[in-house]
């Protein structure tokens, strides 16, 4: 326990409150400067308990800061992970801005796992063998911190900015296409705003799953069957606003389309 003022559990509850209300907050390092990255992952665990208590369900993991550009922007050279819950998945073609602060979206590849992945020495072969299918995805990241400004410790505690995500309706065999060569384009209101290739994710999205298993192993955890893994942004994230229309193309894996609305319209 590193902070004198708030316990890690209390900080998790504070972050949870801001995630639910969509009100931004000061960085936790501004009041608890002694907190370490290890503490922040513990805050995530406490946060998971808050989510489960209100009936949410853990459905997977996300990897963040998987590109060199993003790592540089936070001044680190390692990725981070966060937890995905049921309530984060958007099942319609509308992203409601309700509860969001300053959302940004980024294209990703999701892996859905069918066998436990455990250990810090896994190979790509191990991951392919344990993967049921892959899906195009769009992650909505939304830092709870004012001005989207944070340190590594802050962003890990804030569940790696996890907020919402879309999965495509179509799943694919993991062997359908080389994911490191996959070309992805993102259009906002008809204008191309980002493009990238799968190799932006640690060289190949499969490496992101290997890295996640390794990071989890170091805290006594493993990737369980059925888990969804968002492997990391293929392009930079872009801001979205009320009324925007997004189209994200994933080459031979199809596209994800959605619009952005102030209030939910399901």
Is 164 a binding residue for ligand 0L1 by CB under 6 A? The answer is no
Here the tokens at position 221 are 């955890």
Using CB under 6 A, pick the residue from 19, 44, 85, 161 that binds ligand 0L1.
161
**What residues from 229 to 248 belong to the interface with ligand 0L1 (CB under 6 A)?**
232-233
Q: Smallest Cα–Cα separation from 228: which of 175, 177, 166?
A: 166
Counting residues that bind Mg ion (by CB under 5 A) gives 2
Contact track, ligand 0L1, 71-110, x by CB under 6 A? ----------------------------------------
Q: How far is the CB of 55 from ligand 0L1 (least distance, A)?
A: 25
Measured from the CB atom, is 135 or 160 closer to ligand 0L1? 160
Return d(Cα 246, Cα 266) in angstroms, integer: 17
Using CB under 6 A, pick the residue from 11, 28, 61, 64 that binds ligand 0L1.
64
Using CB under 6 A, pick the residue from 65, 137, 216, 227 that binds ligand 0L1.
65
Stretch near Mg ion under the rule CB under 5 A, chosen from 28-36, 137-145, 219-227, 246-254? 137-145
Q: How far is the CB of 161 from Mg ion (least distance, A)?
A: 8
CA 44 to chain centre: 13
Stretch near ligand 0L1 under the rule CB under 6 A, chosen from 94-102, 155-163, 181-189, 246-254? 155-163
Asked whether the beta carbons of 202 and 234 are under 8 A apart, the reply is: no
**What residues from 139 to 158 belong to the interface with Mg ion (CB under 5 A)?**
139
Q: Which option in Mg ion, ligand 0L1, none does residue 213 bind, with CB closer than 5 to 8 A by kind?
A: none
Tell me whether strands 104-113 and 228-230 are parallel, antiparallel or unpaired.
antiparallel
Return d(Cα 258, Cα 132) in angstroms, integer: 26
Q: Which residue has the tokens 């509860």?
A: 99
Q: Smallest Cα–Cα separation from 100: which of 148, 45, 155?
A: 148
Q: Which residue has the tokens 């031979």?
A: 252
**Tell me, what DSSP letter sits at residue 200?**
G
Contact track, Mg ion, 224-253, x by CB under 5 A? ---------x--------------------
Q: How far is CA 25 from CA 81, 102, 181, in A?
A: 21, 12, 39
Return d(Cα 129, Cα 114) in angstroms, integer: 9
**What is the DSSP annotation of 126-154?**
HHHHHEEEEEEEEEEE--SBGGG---HHH
Interacting residues with ligand 0L1 (CB under 6 A): 64-65, 70, 139, 141, 143, 155, 160-161, 232-233
Interacting residues with Mg ion (CB under 5 A): 139, 233
């Amino acid at each position: 326990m590193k902070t004198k003022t708030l316990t890690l559990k209390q900080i998790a509850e504070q972050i949870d409150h801001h995630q639910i209300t969509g009100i931004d907050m000061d960085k936790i390092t501004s009041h608890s400067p002694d907190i370490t990255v290890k503490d922040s992952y513990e805050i995530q665990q406490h946060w998971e308990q808050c989510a489960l208590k209100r009936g949410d369900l853990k459905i997977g993991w996300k990897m963040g800061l998987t590109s060199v550009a993003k790592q540089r922007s936070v001044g680190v050279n390692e990725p981070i992970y966060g937890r995905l819950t049921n309530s984060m998945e958007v099942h319609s073609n509308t992203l409601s801005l309700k509860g969001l602060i300053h959302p940004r979206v980024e294209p990703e590849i999701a892996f859905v796992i069918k066998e436990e992945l455990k250990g810090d020495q896994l190979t790509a072969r191990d991951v392919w063998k344990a993967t049921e299918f892959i899906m195009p995805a769009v992650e909505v990241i939304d830092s709870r911190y004012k001005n989207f400004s944070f340190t590594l410790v802050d962003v890990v505690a804030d569940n790696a900015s996890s907020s919402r995500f879309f999965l495509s309706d179509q799943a694919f065999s993991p062997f359908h296409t080389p994911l490191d060569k996959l070309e992805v384009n993102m259009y906002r209101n008809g204008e191309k705003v980002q493009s990238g290739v799968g190799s932006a994710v640690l060289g190949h999205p499969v490496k992101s799953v290997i890295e996640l298993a390794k990071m989890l192993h170091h805290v006594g955890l493993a990737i369980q069957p059925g888990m969804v893994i968002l492997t990391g942004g293929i392009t930079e994230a872009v801001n979205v606003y009320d009324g925007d229309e997004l189209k994200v193309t994933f080459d031979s894996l199809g596209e994800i389309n959605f619009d952005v609305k102030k209030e939910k319209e399901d």
